[in-house]
Amino acid sequence: MKLWQTLLIALIFGGVLVFAAQRSFTPRETVSPDHAAMHFNLGKYQRRSGQPQKALESLLRALANQPQSFGIQAELGNTHLRLGDKAAAAKHFEAALAFQPDHAESHCGLASLLLGENKPAEACQHYREALKTEPDELSALNNLAWVLSTTPDESLRDGKSAIPHAERAAELTQRQQPFILMTLAAAYAAAGRFADAIPTAEAALHLAEASNNASLANTLQSQLAAYRAGKALK
Amino acid sequence: MEDEVKTAPQAWFSSTSIFLVAFILAMAFSLATDRAWEDYLITYRSSKNLVEGHGLVFNQGERVHTFTSPLGVLVPAFCHWITFRGSDEAALWLFHVFGGLAFAGAAAFMHRTVTSLRFPSAIAGLLMLWLVTDAKSVDFSIDGMETGFLLLFVSYILWSLFACSHRSALHLGLACGGLMWTRPDGVIYIAALSLGVLLFAPGDKPRREWLRTLGTAAGVCTLVYLPWFAWAWSYYGTPVPHTITAKANAVGVRTLWGALQTWLMLPVSMFRGVGSLDGLFMPSGWFYGGWPAWLLPVTRFIAGLACLVWLLPRQRAEVRVVSFAASILMAYLGYFPGLNPAPWYLPAAAWLALFSLGGLKSRLVLPFGIAWLVLSMWQLVEFTRLSAVEQKLVDGGNRRAVGEWLKANAKPGDTLFMECLGYLGYYSGLKTFDYPGMSSPELVQASRRVGLEWHQLIGELKPTWLALRPLEAAKLMQKAPSLLTQDYRERRIFDVSGEVEHLDVRGQGLLAFDSIFIVFQRQEVAP
C-alpha cells in the first residue's frame, strides 16, 4: 500500500471519529438503568436527610427509568410514609413485593402501616417474613418484639417469643440504644422476668437521660414503676 | 499452524506511513473529544506549581510526591512553560500533540519489529491497525496521561530485543530507562520481558549472551533513571510516590504468593471473569454499564488466549516472550491495584497481547484479525462518541463546575473531602483530603488511626467541604445519619443527569456515575 493511500484511509477514519463525536449529542427514547441508580441513591439520601418531597421527585425519575425495580418501589413506599400518604406507601410496598416477594424492607414498611391500622397480627406476619430474609433487620426485630410484648390481644401476646428478637436487637446495637433496651425490658416483663426487666429499663433510662431525650426518659420512668410493681405493659 | 512466511514479505505499510496514520488518528480523537482526563489535572496542578516557582508540589509548602509518572508531570510543566504560562487549554493541546507523537512513535517501533520478525504482510498490516485503533490506547495517549510514553518505551524495548542489530544493549537500556521515567512500576514490565527472554532465548543468541545484554542494559537503565530517583528521594524524603503509598493503604496487603496465584488462575479467569482480563480489550469505564453484553465475554476470552500463546509449541520464540510477559503483566495489574485496574494501566499490556495474537502461526489469524479489526474500529468510534459527551457535559461540565463553585464560595484555609480529585482539586484550588489520600498524607495517617470508612475519616479530619456522589451520600446517611444533617449542611446539588441520560451513546453508565454531585459545608463555618 502506498503512503498516500494509507494516509487517505487514516484521514477518512479520523474524519469518521470527528463526525461520530458530533452525532453523540442526539437524544434517544430509552434511558440507561445506570441513571436510575443515580436518582435512586439521590432519593435515598434526600429521604434520610429529611427532604421527603425532593426525595419523591428523585425517586419518581428513577422509577421512570427502571419501573420494575423493587428497591425503588420500596424507597418510594418509605418516602410516602414519611409524607403521610399511607395509601400511596402501601401501593409501592405491594408493588415491590410483587417484583421481589422476600424483600425485607417492603415487608417492614407494610408491617408499620398495618400497625397504624391496628392490625398487629398481620403486621407480625410481615415482620416474620422480613426476618426470614434478613435475620438481623433491626426494625423488624425490635418492632416484632415490641408488638409481641405489649399487644393487648392475648392470642398474639407472647413474651417468651419476643425475648430472642429483642436480645438480638440489643446485641446488634451493643446495648447502646435506649429504644431497643426499652423493648427488651418490655419483653422480659411480658415473660414475667421482672428481675431482668428492671435493670434493663434502668439502663435504657440512663441512656435516654444521657442523650437528653426527656420524653423517652419520662416514658421509661413510668414503665419502670410498672415493672417494680410486677406489671407488664399492655 | 505452519503458515509462517519464510521470505521477506512485502509490507502493507512503511514505518513512516504507520507513524502518520497513528498520529492522525490520535489527533482526530483529540479534536473530536477535547479530552482531559481527571488524573491529568492532579499532576498538572503540580506541573503548574513547578513552573510558577512553588516547587513540584500539589499544595504549596507541602513536599508530597502526589504523582506517579515523572514524565507525566514534567512534560505538562514544559507545555505550560512553553505556552507562556498563559492558557491551560494551550498547554493541554501541546500535551495532546506530544502524546500523539509518542503513540505514533510506538506504532512505528512495533512496525519495525514485526517487519524484522517477518510476520506475513497481511498479518503485520492487520496487527498495526489493531494497535492504532485500540480505543484505550488512543484515548490515554492524548488525554493527559503518560500512556503514550508507556507505549513508546515498551515498543522501543521490543524493537531493541528483537529487531535491533547494532548496540542493542544500549538501546535496551535507554528504552528501559525511559520506561522508568514514565512509570516507576515499569520495572515490572522490564522484569516480565527479561524473564521471558531468558526463558525462551529468542534469535540466535545463547542465554549467556542474553544475560550479558540484559546486564549491560540494566546498567544503562540505572544511569538514566538514577538522577530522578536521587532527586525525588532528596526532595520528598522518599523515592516512593505518595500515590502508591495511599493506594497500597487502601487496597490492603499484597503478597508475591497472591500475585502468583492470580497468574496461575489466568486460564480460569478467561472464562469466569474476575480480574484484569476483563478490561484489557474493553473500553474504559466498561464496568459502569451500557455496552452490549456479548462484548465482555468475547474480549475476555481473547485476552486470556493472548496470555496463553507462550504455552503453545512451535511458535516464534519472540512471540512466546511477549505473550509470557503479557500474562505476567495481567497478573500484576489484576492483583496489585485491585481486580479492575485503572484503564490507563492496560494499553501496554493490550499491545503485548495483540502482538502475541498476531504472531500466532495459524491459518485462523487472518480471518480472526479482520473480525477483530472491525470490532476494534467499532469500539473506537463508539468510545469517541462517549468520550466527547463525557468531556463536554460531565468532566468539563459538572465536575469543573463543582470545582469552580467551590473556588468562588470557599475561604482561604478551607479543606475539601472527595474521591474524584482531578477536576475538583484543580478548579477549587483548595487543600484536599481526597480518598484514598493521593494528595493528602493526613488522610492516609487518619485511615491508619480510624480505618477506611468515610464517616470515620470525615469525623477525624473535619474538612470544611464535602463533594459527594449520591451513592456516597446515601451510604454516609446509613452509617452516620447525623453527619450530613447536623455536622454538615447541604449547600448545592450539581446535576447534569437530565442532559446526559437521554443521549444515544454506548457506555451510558460512565456518564451516570459523575452526573450528580452534592456539596456540603461544615455547620460551624456555614454563614
Q: In the predicted model, is pLDDT for residue B338 greater than 80?
A: no
DSSP assignment string, B87-147: -HHHHHHHHHHHHHHHHHHHHHHHHHHHHHTT--HHHHHHHHHHHHT-HHHHHHHHSSSSH
Structural domain boundaries, residue A86: 52-135
Question: Mean pLDDT over residues A94-109, rounded?
Answer: 96
| A73 in any annotated domain | yes
Which member of A9, A17, A25 has the closest CB to residue B389? Answer: A25
Residue of A nearest to B515 (CA): A38
- pLDDT in the model for residue B252: 82
Question: Residue A135 has what DSSP assignment?
Answer: T
- pLDDT in the model for residue B5: 38
Q: Is residue B483 within 8 angstroms of chain A, CB to CB?
A: no
Which member of A20, A24, A32 has the closest CB to residue B501? Answer: A32
pLDDT tens column, B349-378: 999 999 999 999 998 999 999 999 999 999
Rounded distance between C-alpha atoms, residue B43 and residue A3, angstroms: 38
Residues of chain A in contact with residue B19, where contact means CB-CB under 8 angstroms, are none
Residue of A nearest to B518 (CA): A42
Residues of chain B in contact with residue A177, where contact means CB-CB under 8 angstroms, are none
Question: Mean pLDDT over residues B220-227, rounded?
Answer: 98
Residue of A nearest to B12 (CA): A1
Residues of chain A in contact with residue B469, where contact means CB-CB under 8 angstroms, are 38, 41
Q: Is residue B122 within 8 angstroms of chain A, CB to CB?
A: no
Q: Residue A123 sits in a domain of what CATH number?
A: 1.25.40.10
Q: In the predicted model, is pLDDT for residue B340 greater than 80?
A: no
| A200 in any annotated domain | no
| A67 in any annotated domain | yes
Which member of B18, B381, B512 has the closest CB to residue A17? Answer: B381
- pLDDT in the model for residue B257: 92
pLDDT above 90 coverage of chain B, percent: 86
| A58 in any annotated domain | yes
Least trusted range by pLDDT, from A189-203, B90-104, B333-347, B489-503: B333-347
Question: Mean pLDDT over residues A220-232, rounded?
Answer: 95
Question: Mean pLDDT over residues B252-260, rounded?
Answer: 89
- pLDDT in the model for residue B339: 62
- pLDDT in the model for residue A106: 96
Rounded distance between C-alpha atoms, residue B196 and residue B193, angstroms: 5
Q: Is residue B497 within 8 angstroms of chain A, CB to CB?
A: yes
Rounded distance between C-alpha atoms, residue A88 and residue A101, angstroms: 19
| A83 in any annotated domain | yes
- B512 with A35: Cβ contact below 8 A: yes
Query: Which one of B19, B20, B24 would you mutate to disrupt binding with A, by most A Cβ within 10 Å of its Cβ?
Result: B24
Top-confidence residue, B9 or A23: A23
Could you tell me if B460 and B446 are in contact, meaning their C-beta atoms sit under 8 angstroms apart? yes
pLDDT tens column, A36-88: 999 999 999 999 999 999 999 999 999 988 888 999 999 999 999 999 999 99
Q: In the predicted model, is pLDDT for residue B45 greater than 70?
A: yes
Q: In the predicted model, is pLDDT for residue B438 greater than 80?
A: yes
Question: Mean pLDDT over residues B48-57, rounded?
Answer: 96
Task: State the total domains in chain A.
Answer: 1
pLDDT tens column, A153-203: 999 999 999 999 999 999 999 999 999 999 999 999 999 999 999 999 999
The most confident of the ranges A20-34, A168-182, B237-251 is A168-182
Which member of A20, A50, A65 has the closest CB to residue B384? Answer: A20
pLDDT tens column, B448-506: 999 999 999 999 999 999 999 999 999 999 999 899 999 999 999 999 999 998 899 99
- B388 with A21: Cβ contact below 8 A: yes
Angle between helices A214-228 and A178-190 (to 10 degrees): 20
- pLDDT in the model for residue B299: 95
Query: E strands along B239-383, which residues?
Result: none
- pLDDT in the model for residue A8: 87
Residues 223-262 of B with CB under 8 A from A: none
Top-confidence residue, A4 or A194: A194
Residue of A nearest to B20 (CA): A7
pLDDT tens column, B162-171: 999 889 999 9
pLDDT above 70 coverage of chain A, percent: 98
Which member of A20, A35, A39 has the closest CB to residue B381? Answer: A20
Question: Mean pLDDT over residues B383-399, rounded?
Answer: 96
Q: In the predicted model, is pLDDT for residue B9 greater than 70?
A: no
Residues of chain A in contact with residue B471, where contact means CB-CB under 8 angstroms, are 37-38, 41
Q: Tell me the pLDDT of chain A averaged across its residues.
A: 93
Could you tell me if A234 and A150 are in contact, meaning their C-beta atoms sit under 8 angstroms apart? yes
Please work out, in degrees rounded to the nearest 5, the angle formed at the alpha carbon of residue A173 by the alpha carbons of A233 and A133.
85
Rounded distance between C-alpha atoms, residue B63 and residue B514, angstroms: 30
- B20 with A7: Cβ contact below 8 A: yes
- Which set of grid coordinates corresponds to residue B27? 489527533
Rounded distance between C-alpha atoms, residue A214 and residue B172, angstroms: 77
Q: In the predicted model, is pLDDT for residue B4 greater than 60?
A: no
Q: Tell me the pLDDT of chain B averaged across its residues.
A: 93
Give me the phi and psi of B434, to 5 degrees please: -90, 150
In A, what residues contact B, Cβ < 8 A? Answer: 1, 3, 6-7, 9-11, 13-18, 20-28, 31-35, 37-39, 41-42, 44-45, 48-50, 61, 65
Confidence category of residue B11, pLDDT binned at 50, 70, 90: low
Residues of chain B in contact with residue A48, where contact means CB-CB under 8 angstroms, are 474, 477-478, 481
Q: In the predicted model, is pLDDT for residue B152 greater than 70?
A: yes
Q: Is residue B389 within 8 angstroms of chain A, CB to CB?
A: yes
Confidence category of residue B10, pLDDT binned at 50, 70, 90: low
- Using DSSP's 3-state secondary structure scheme, residue B13 falls into coil
- pLDDT in the model for residue A78: 95
pLDDT tens column, B70-84: 999 999 999 999 999
- pLDDT in the model for residue B2: 39
| A216 in any annotated domain | no
- Which set of grid coordinates corresponds to residue B123? 498479518
pLDDT tens column, B175-196: 999 999 999 999 999 999 999 9
| A100 in any annotated domain | yes
Kind plus residue range of the DSSP H or E element containing A223: helix A214-228
Strands of the B431-434 sheet, one edge to the other: B431-434, B415-418, B465-468, B516-522, B488-495
pLDDT above 70 coverage of chain B, percent: 97
Residues of chain B in contact with residue A20, where contact means CB-CB under 8 angstroms, are 32, 381-382, 384-385
- pLDDT in the model for residue B249: 87
Residues of chain A in contact with residue B33, where contact means CB-CB under 8 angstroms, are 21
- B469 with A41: Cβ contact below 8 A: yes
| A37 in any annotated domain | no
- pLDDT in the model for residue B8: 47
Name the one residue in this structure whose C-alpha cell is 529487531: B163
Exposure of B50 in the CB half-sphere (CA atoms within 13 A): 22
What value does the CA radius of gyration of chain B take, rounded to a whole number of Å? 23
pLDDT tens column, B285-330: 999 989 999 999 999 999 999 999 999 988 999 999 999 999 999 9
Chain B nearest C-alpha distance from A183 (Å): 22
> What is the ipTM for the molecules in this complex?
0.84
